[in-house]
Amino acid sequence: KNEVEQSPQNLTAQEGEFITINCSYSVGISALHWLQQHPGGGIVSLFMLSSGKKKHGRLIATINIQEKHSSLHITASHPRDSAVYICAAERNYGGSQGNLIFGKGTKLSVKP
Amino acid sequence: GAVVSQHPSWVICKSGTSVKIECRSLDFQATTMFWYRQFPKQSLMLMATSNEGSKATYEQGVEKDKFLINHASLTLSTLTVTSAHPEDSSFYICSAPGTTTDTQYFGPGTRLTVL
């Protein structure tokens, strides 16, 4: 079993739909990252959170530390949101930031 | 915002040769940088942590003599794949933690193909 599990693996939505991507992890973490990877491979960091909820534009990320679960929500989805969304757990080594374990990603396709 | 660049963006080389990939932080200093690789249809995996002024820390299963890391300055880390083989063909990405925000800045990646 992977230490970081994402669901669904693939998601197709119509423009305007509300989207939720889930992430569960089994390791102790200091933070949870949500990343966006575009078809060319480039990665953008969307959120880094260790508790509660963060919002940026149409994106919302939540985390429940007790349940070891995080969700990424996209409101009013748009075709330009089409990408692979990756959840990454930052291991609680007390050491260097960036020691990440990655989920396999959720490929989102938003149709116009 | 902070930018991390990588060079080259793609490289094709013959088996047995060495390839150097550069990772630069363009408008901030990074005492630590991270190297990841991603095989097709697989997760990103952390390979090593590059530390300015000291030896890199490698993840289990990553050969330090094969993947040489040099963090020569506060803005540059290099990854050299020595004696490359076709199984080293992958997408290599670096990242650096931001200095003022809780985030990681990722480079655009380098696609390595070894023939």
Question: How many CB atoms lie under 10 A from the CB of residue A62?
Answer: 18
Is B104 within 8 Å of A40 when comparing Cβ atoms? Answer: no
Mutate to test the interface with B, among A10, A33, A91, A96 (most CBs of B within 10 A): A96
Residue-wise pLDDT tens digits, B18-58: 999 999 999 888 889 999 999 988 889 999 999 888 899 99
Residue-wise pLDDT tens digits, A3-45: 899 999 999 999 999 999 999 999 888 889 999 998 877 888 8
Is B44 within 8 Å of A31 when comparing Cβ atoms? Answer: no
What pLDDT, on the 0 to 100 scale, is given for residue B13?
Answer: 96
Does A52 touch chain B if contact means CB atoms closer than 8 Å? no
The angle at the Cα of B96, spanning B94 to B100, to the nearest 5 degrees, equals 160
Residue A25 CA from chain centroid, whole number: 12
Give the gap in angstroms from C-alpha A99 to the nearest C-alpha of chain B: 7
Does A44 touch chain B if contact means CB atoms closer than 8 Å? yes
Is B44 within 8 Å of A88 when comparing Cβ atoms? Answer: yes
Give the gap in angstroms from C-alpha A47 to the nearest C-alpha of chain B: 7
Give the residue from chain B lying closest to A2, CA to CA. Answer: B43
Q: How many CB pairs under 8 A join A and B?
A: 63
Nearest to A71 by CA among A28, A18, A110: A18
Please give, one letter per residue, the 3-state secondary structure of A39-99.
Answer: CCCCEEEEEEECCEEEEECCEEEEEECCCCEEEEEECCCCHHHCEEEEEEEEECCCCCCCC
Residue-wise pLDDT tens digits, B59-106: 989 999 999 999 989 999 999 999 999 999 999 999 998 776 567 889
Give the residue from chain B lying closest to A103, CA to CA. Answer: B43
Q: How high is the mean pLDDT of chain A?
A: 91
What pLDDT, on the 0 to 100 scale, is given for residue B43?
Answer: 87
Residue-wise pLDDT tens digits, A1-10: 678 999 999 9
What whole-number percentage of chain A has pLDDT above 90? 72
Is A41 within 8 Å of B108 when comparing Cβ atoms? Answer: yes
What pLDDT, on the 0 to 100 scale, is given for residue B2?
Answer: 66
